[in-house]
Amino acid sequence: MGNDSSKTKSIGDNARKIIGKSGPSTSTVNKHLEMASKSRILQLKGTGLKKVPDEIEPLADVLRNLELSENKIREIPIFIGQFSQLKQLHLANNCLEFLPDELGSMKKLEILNLAGNKLKALPDTIVGCTDLKTIDLSSNVFTVFPVAVIGCLQLDILNLNGNQIESLPDDISNLKVIELSLNQNRLSSLNPSNLAKTTRLRTLRLDENCLEKSEFTRDLLESSTISVMSYDGNRFQLKDFQDLPGYDAYQERFTATKRKI
C-alpha cells in the first residue's frame, strides 16, 4: 500500500509536465492520474492528448484498464510492455500507424480496441498476449488479413469491419475466434475450403463486400460450424444464396441458434 501511495504522489507532482506536451489541463490530468492509482482505471478519453504521457509509467504494475480513445496519439511508447496487469487497452480513434513489438508483453490483456486508426499491420509479437479475447481493428487501412491474430488462441471476437481486405489466407483454418466481422471490405475471395475448417467460428459478417455466390461452397455451408452469417450488399441476391447447395444445412444451424436466444 505504501508503494501505491508514493506512486500517487509522484504522478501528482509530475502531472503538470503533460500540459505543454500533450494538450489537456494540469487539473484534468492530475485528477485522473490520482484516481487511477486507487481505481486501477485511467480514463483520459477525448482529452486532446498528442502522446501517451510518460507520467503514467509509474502505474505500470497497477493499472487494469487504460482508456486513451478519441485523442491525437500517433504512437504507443515502448514502455507499454511494462503494463503487466493491464486487462483492457482502448486506443480507438487516434492517429496510430504502427504498434510496437512490446505490445506482446502484456500477458493479461483481454480487450484491445484499436478501431479508427491508420493501421496496416499488427506486430507478430501479438501472440504474446495470451489472454486476449477481443480485438477491434475496424476502420483502419488493412489490405491484408492480419495473420498474426491466428496465433491468439484464446481470441473470441475479431472485428475487421471497414478495412480494405481482399481475401482470406490459407491459415484462416487455424483461427480460433467465435465471431469474425469483415463488413465493408473488398473481399472477393473467402478461401472457403480453409474457412470451413475453423473449429469455433459461429458468427461471420460479410456485408458490403465484392463476393460472388460461388464463394459460398457446399463445404462452407454444410460442414462448417458457422450458424449466423450476414452477406447483404454483395454480388448476388438473397434468392441466389438460398438456392446454393448446402443452404438447408446452414439454415438448420441458424434456426437452432435463434431458438436458443
Identify the pLDDT of residue 258: 85
What's the gap between Cα 32 and its chain centre?
25
Q: What is the mean pLDDT of the chain?
A: 91
Min mean pLDDT across 37-41, 107-111, 172-176 is at: 37-41
Per DSSP, helices labelled H in 2-117 are 2-14, 18-22, 26-39
Q: Which residue has the higher pLDDT, 231 or 260?
A: 231
149-159 average pLDDT score: 98
Identify the pLDDT of residue 112: 99
90-98 average pLDDT score: 99
> In the structure, what pLDDT confidence band is assigned to residue 200 with cuts at 50, 70 and 90?
very high
Identify the pLDDT of residue 259: 84
Q: Are 56 and 79 in contact (CB under 8 A)?
A: no
197-225 average pLDDT score: 98
Number of Cβ within 10 Å of residue 256's Cβ equals 10
**DSSP element (H, E) containing 245:** none
Q: Where are the domains of the chain?
A: 40-260
Q: Which amino acid is at 5?
A: S
Q: What is the CATH number of domain 40-260?
A: 3.80.10.10
Q: Are 237 and 212 in contact (CB under 8 A)?
A: no
Cβ-count burial 144-178 (b if 16+ within 10 Å, e if not): ebbbebbbbeebbebbbbbbebeebeeebbebbbe
What is the torsional sign of CA 207, 211, 213, 218? negative
SS3 16: helix
Identify the pLDDT of residue 34: 85
Percentage of the chain lying above the pLDDT 70 cut: 89
Identify the pLDDT of residue 261: 67
120-142 average pLDDT score: 98
Instruction: Write 181-185 long-range contacts (CB < 8 A, 24+).
Output: 181/138, 181/205, 182/206, 182/209, 183/207, 183/208, 183/209, 183/230, 184/208, 184/209, 185/160, 185/161, 185/209
Sheet holding 203-205, edge to edge: 41-43, 65-67, 88-90, 111-113, 134-136, 157-159, 179-181, 203-205, 228-230
Q: Which three cell numbers stand for residue 213?
A: 455466390
- pTM reported for the whole predicted model: 0.90
Distance, CA of 208 to CA of 211 (rounded, Å): 9
Identify the pLDDT of residue 15: 44
Does pLDDT of 251 surpass 70? yes
Q: Kindly report, residue by residue over 64-93, the tens digit of the pLDDT.
A: 999 999 999 999 999 999 999 999 999 999
Q: Kindly report, residue by residue over 4-36, the tens digit of the pLDDT.
A: 444 444 444 444 444 344 466 566 777 888 889
Identify the pLDDT of residue 27: 66
